[in-house]
């Protein structure tokens, strides 16, 4: 009976072993029930409540913190309710984000990681995890096509991209670490109009300034136009700026486009620029024999962002920055804090990887990926990726066949992003133009709002450039089947009838 028990009755309390076991068993039941529900199509993806409703408290679930301890039964109820009012991102009908799915082995890895509760900064407190990170980074570098390299797992693609700009700036101007930006010329970065906002954010964070990020034009599919890049670099130089860095995206966030890396690499080479490939989303395709050619030229990058928590289905978060030049991360970031990185330790201190990073404490993000890799192998990941892209192609074909949907662009998706509008009956015969666009812009948000209230599926929308709000379906969940794709379209059409 947990209603009479409190956290003080659990370990390390004397005789606390049985109560701890019992408490965990109850918790595991809650988690297992959630996992099963997540895969059940009849269960909801979400049970939506507005922020004020959750803040006010719901049926015994309160976010407020007490002064007096609450009993274990209440804590178990709180755990159950936390999951109940959340979003089942592992549900086969959750299409809202690039990171989806609920990989059982990955989840086991995450549980173990939390149980171990250690820090990645030194070998002495994370010996196995530090070596696993080395093994994973080496494997990923090999798949990119490098013979050697460096890298680190960090908190998400934005931070990985931040590392790439940080390293590029340090590579060309190492004095920046001591003198700051004052002695530096006006640096310029280049990235495409469809790239992730993190390149601009990096420029802001690093004091380069977002106005010094040149946004290069894309073709209609969202791929950087190399000729435009070359022109922009020449213009920047003529204006007295100093170009240092080009970001090529492998799998843009909205369209899933792949920039032509080989041609961009030629341009970078001829101008002596750092080439970064943001493959946060598209990196997973390197695992597939069928699709890896979409990243041709990535081996010529100086750094690569690759997020296994996206296309490879690793639980959040798991993002790597890979760096071609060995030792640069360490040189750029080390401050040799003596309380952590003592040089006179009795083991090989090159494994105290913490000083390579911009963090101090660092979460263990590698074990779940290492375990998944053991479970699936390269081939298993490859099949997983292939299946997601097949489902995306299925969706693309279905939309093409239906008169009530319209594709944002007509060519086959390169990644698993499919972008489309739902056209309500009243708009179907209206000529295209500002009036139709104004109405169409409101359609996706209205459908999404109703969809979230119903809770049976979830998909994102956004405007982009001159395109009014459209849906972006992304498929990265291996649990998703064609029947789920059909369901999504039917649900949109059903809600969208006017």
Minimum distance between the CB of residue 127 and ligand ABU, rounded to whole angstroms?
Answer: 32
Residue 168 neighbours by CB under 8 Å, 6+ apart: 244, 245, 274, 276, 302, 303
Minimum distance between the CB of residue 33 and ligand ABU, rounded to whole angstroms?
Answer: 27
Residue 97 or 204 with smaller CB distance to ligand ABU: 97
Residue 84 or 363 with smaller CB distance to ligand ABU: 363
**Six-digit token pair at 178?**
């001591």
Residue 98 or 162 with smaller CB distance to ligand ABU: 98
DSSP letters for 69-103: PPPHHHHHHHHHHHHHTSB-TTSTTEESSSS----
Give which of 105, 151, 132 is closest to 307, Cα–Cα.
151
Q: Does 243 bind ligand ABU (CB under 6 A)?
A: no
Q: Does 98 bind ligand ABU (CB under 6 A)?
A: yes
Minimum distance between the CB of residue 99 and ligand ABU, rounded to whole angstroms?
Answer: 6
Binding window for ligand ABU (CB under 6 A); candidates: 43-51, 91-99, 343-351, 387-395: 91-99
- Distance (Å, rounded) from C-alpha 45 to C-alpha 457? 6
Contact 324, 104 (CB under 8 A): no
**Six-digit token pair at 337?**
């804090």
Q: Which of residues 154-183 bind ligand ABU (CB under 6 A)?
A: 157
Residue 232 or 249 with smaller CB distance to ligand ABU: 249
Q: Does 97 bind ligand ABU (CB under 6 A)?
A: yes
Binding window for ligand ABU (CB under 6 A); candidates: 3-11, 97-105, 141-149, 167-175: 97-105
- Distance (Å, rounded) from C-alpha 43 to C-alpha 101? 15
Minimum distance between the CB of residue 164 and ligand ABU, rounded to whole angstroms?
Answer: 15
Phi-psi region of 489 (alpha: psi -120 to 50; beta: other; left: phi over 0): alpha
Residue 341 neighbours by CB under 8 Å, 6+ apart: 122, 334, 349, 352, 354, 355
Residue 203 or 236 with smaller CB distance to ligand ABU: 203
Binding window for ligand ABU (CB under 6 A); candidates: 47-55, 92-100, 324-332, 386-394: 92-100
Contact 169, 347 (CB under 8 A): no
Contact 80, 30 (CB under 8 A): yes
**What are the beta bridge partners of residue 34?**
none
Residue 243 or 308 with smaller CB distance to ligand ABU: 308
Instruction: List Cα–Cα distances, 432 to 272, 427, 498, in angstroms.
Output: 46, 9, 19
Residue 97 or 437 with smaller CB distance to ligand ABU: 97
- Distance (Å, rounded) from C-alpha 325 to C-alpha 303? 8
Minimum distance between the CB of residue 157 and ligand ABU, rounded to whole angstroms?
Answer: 5
Minimum distance between the CB of residue 63 and ligand ABU, rounded to whole angstroms?
Answer: 25
**Six-digit token pair at 53?**
């409703």
Minimum distance between the CB of residue 44 and ligand ABU, rounded to whole angstroms?
Answer: 21
As a whole number of angstroms, the longest Cα–Cα distance in the chain is 77
Give which of 337, 282, 270 is closest to 476, Cα–Cα.
282
Residue 96 or 357 with smaller CB distance to ligand ABU: 96
Binding window for ligand ABU (CB under 6 A); candidates: 55-63, 78-86, 95-103, 389-397: 95-103
Residue 492 neighbours by CB under 8 Å, 6+ apart: 405, 422, 447, 451, 459, 471
Binding window for ligand ABU (CB under 6 A); candidates: 50-58, 96-104, 200-208, 413-421: 96-104
Minimum distance between the CB of residue 321 and ligand ABU, rounded to whole angstroms?
Answer: 14
Minimum distance between the CB of residue 156 and ligand ABU, rounded to whole angstroms?
Answer: 7
Q: How many residues bind ligand ABU (CB under 6 A)?
A: 5
Minimum distance between the CB of residue 309 and ligand ABU, rounded to whole angstroms?
Answer: 10
Q: Hunting for tokens 């109703």 — which residue is that?
A: 450
Residue 311 or 440 with smaller CB distance to ligand ABU: 311
Query: Radius of gyration over alpha carbons of the chain, in Å?
Result: 25
**Six-digit token pair at 290?**
């069928």
Q: Does 71 bind ligand ABU (CB under 6 A)?
A: no
Binding window for ligand ABU (CB under 6 A); candidates: 18-26, 67-75, 94-102, 112-120: 94-102
Residue 97 or 177 with smaller CB distance to ligand ABU: 97
Q: Does 319 bind ligand ABU (CB under 6 A)?
A: no
Minimum distance between the CB of residue 313 and ligand ABU, rounded to whole angstroms?
Answer: 13
Minimum distance between the CB of residue 272 and ligand ABU, rounded to whole angstroms?
Answer: 30
**Six-digit token pair at 320?**
């790597």
Q: Which of residues 371-410 bind ligand ABU (CB under 6 A)?
A: none
Binding test (CB under 6 A) with ligand ABU, winner from 89, 141, 161, 253 = 253
Give the number of C-alpha atoms closer than 13 A to the C-alpha of residue 282, restricted to the C-beta side.
31
Binding site for ligand ABU (CB under 6 A): 97-99, 157, 253
């Amino acid at each position: 009976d947990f209603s009479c028990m409190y956290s003080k009755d659990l370990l390390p309390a004397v005789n606390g072993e049985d109560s701890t076991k019992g408490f965990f068993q109850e918790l595991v039941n809650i988690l297992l029930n959630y996992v099963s529900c997540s895969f059940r199509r009849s269960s909801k993806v979400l049970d939506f409540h507005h922020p004020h409703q959750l803040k006010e408290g719901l049926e015994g679930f309160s976010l407020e913190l007490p002064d007096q301890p609450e009993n274990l039964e209440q804590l178990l109820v709180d755990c159950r309710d936390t999951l109940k009012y959340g979003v089942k991102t592992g549900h086969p009908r959750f299409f809202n984000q690039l990171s989806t799915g609920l990989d059982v082995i990955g989840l086991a890895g995450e549980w173990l990681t939390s149980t171990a509760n250690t820090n990645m900064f030194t070998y002495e407190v994370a010996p196995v995890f530090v070596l696993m990170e080395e093994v994973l980074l080496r494997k990923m570098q090999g798949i990119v096509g490098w013979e050697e390299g460096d890298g680190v797992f960090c908190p998400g693609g934005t931070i990985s991209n931040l590392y790439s700009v940080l390293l590029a700036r340090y590579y060309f101007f190492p004095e920046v670490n001591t003198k700051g930006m004052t002695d530096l010329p006006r640096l310029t970065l280049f990235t495409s109009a469809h790239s992730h906002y993190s390149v601009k954010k990096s420029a802001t964070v690093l004091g380069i300034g977002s106005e010094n990020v040149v946004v290069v034009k894309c073709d209609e599919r969202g791929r950087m136009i190399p000729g435009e890049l070359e022109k922009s670099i020449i213009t920047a130089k003529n204006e007295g700026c100093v170009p240092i860095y080009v970001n090529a995206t492998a799998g843009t966030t909205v369209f899933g486009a792949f920039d032509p890396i080989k041609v961009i690499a030629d341009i970078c080479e001829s101008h002596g620029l750092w080439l970064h490939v943001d493959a946060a989303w598209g990196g997973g395709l390197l695992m597939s024999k069928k699709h890896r050619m979409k990243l041709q030229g990535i081996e010529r990058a100086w750094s690569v962002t690759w997020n296994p928590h996206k296309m490879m289905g690793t639980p959040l978060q798991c993002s790597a920055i890979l760096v071609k030049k060995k030792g640069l991360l360490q040189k750029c970031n080390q401050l040799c804090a003596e309380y952590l990185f003592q040089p006179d330790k009795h083991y090989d201190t090159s494994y105290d990887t913490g000083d390579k990073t911009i963090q101090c404490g660092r979460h263990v993000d590698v074990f779940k990926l290492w375990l998944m890799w053991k479970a699936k192998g390269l081939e298993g990941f490859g099949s997983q990726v292939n299946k997601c892209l097949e489902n995306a192609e299925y969706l693309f074909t279905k939309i093409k066949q239906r008169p009530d949907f319209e594709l944002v662009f007509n060519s086959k998706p390169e990644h698993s992003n499919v972008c489309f509008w739902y056209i309500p009956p009243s708009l179907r015969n209206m000529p295209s133009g500002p009036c139709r666009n104004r109405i169409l812009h409101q359609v996706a948000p209205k459908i999404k709002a109703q969809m979230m209230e119903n809770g049976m599926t979830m998909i994102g929308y956004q405007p982009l450039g001159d395109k009014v709000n459209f849906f972006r379906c992304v498929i990265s969940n291996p649990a998703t089947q064609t029947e789920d794709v059909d369901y999504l379209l039917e649900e949109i059409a059903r809600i969208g009838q006017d």
